């Protein structure tokens, strides 16, 4: 039987490992093409969308927040002041290190645990499984994919294998 831990913590960690690979490829590409890395860091897909930096920040916040909520822990807070690829890598690594502190037992029974979120200033309550599958995972993947898309749109030669963490 697959557990809430199995479908959350290791998945978040592995996808963040792939995000680190995507960021490495982007940094290398900026160097090769003699592009100021800030161009990629501040890039966005549309004027009303967030930057690459923000996408990485939200993806990491989503991962640590979801695991923490499901385990009944208080999630660590980050300053959201990253301004370089090195700082984004450090944030991803710090998040993966935090995720590594979770044990499967902590999430046991979390599918039925009530999770409370602030949405638009209001409390929203969901059972853990619904929260994970309908809110946390889609949000995480949205920001992960948007980070990938921003870089791909800016000419970084990324393929599906990089997104999946295989290159």
Q: Which residue has the tokens 């300053």?
A: 79
Q: What's the CA dihedral at 147, 153, 159, 163 to 10 degrees?
A: 10
pTM, full prediction: 0.96
Q: What is the pLDDT of residues 38-73, one digit of tens each?
A: 999 999 999 999 999 999 999 999 999 999 999 999
Question: Domain 9-163 is classified in which CATH homologous superfamily?
Answer: dinb family like domain (1.20.120.450)
Rounded-to-integer distance, Cα 26 and Cα 37, Å: 8
Q: What is the mean pLDDT of the segment spanning 69-95?
A: 97
Rounded-to-integer distance, Cα 29 and Cα 155, Å: 9
Domain boundaries, the chain: 9-163
DSSP state of 84: S
Q: What is the pLDDT of residues 3-40, one digit of tens each?
A: 999 999 999 999 999 999 999 999 999 999 999 999 99
Nearest to 112 by CA among 73, 72, 61: 72
Whether 152 has a pLDDT exceeding 90, the answer reads: yes
* pLDDT band with cut points at 50, 70 and 90 for residue 118: confident
Nearest to 21 by CA among 118, 156, 125, 136: 156
């Amino acid at each position: 039987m697959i557990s809430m831990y199995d479908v959350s913590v290791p998945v978040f960690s592995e996808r963040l490992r792939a995000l680190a690979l995507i960021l490495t490829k982007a940094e290398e590409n900026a160097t090769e093409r003699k592009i100021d890395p800030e161009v990629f860091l501040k890039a966005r897909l549309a004027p009303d969308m967030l930057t690459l930096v923000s996408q990485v920040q939200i993806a990491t916040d989503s991962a640590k927040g979801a695991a923490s909520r499901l385990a009944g822990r208080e999630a660590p807070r980050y300053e959201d002041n990253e301004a370089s690829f090195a700082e984004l890598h450090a944030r991803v690594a710090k998040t993966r290190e935090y995720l590594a502190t979770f044990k499967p037992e902590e999430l046991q029974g979390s599918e039925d645990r009530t999770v409370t979120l602030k949405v638009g200033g209001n409390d929203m309550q969901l059972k853990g499984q619904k929260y994970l599958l309908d809110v946390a995972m889609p949000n995480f993947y949205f920001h992960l994919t948007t980070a990938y898309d921003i870089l791909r749109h800016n000419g970084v030669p990324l393929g599906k294998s990089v997104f999946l963490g295989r290159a």
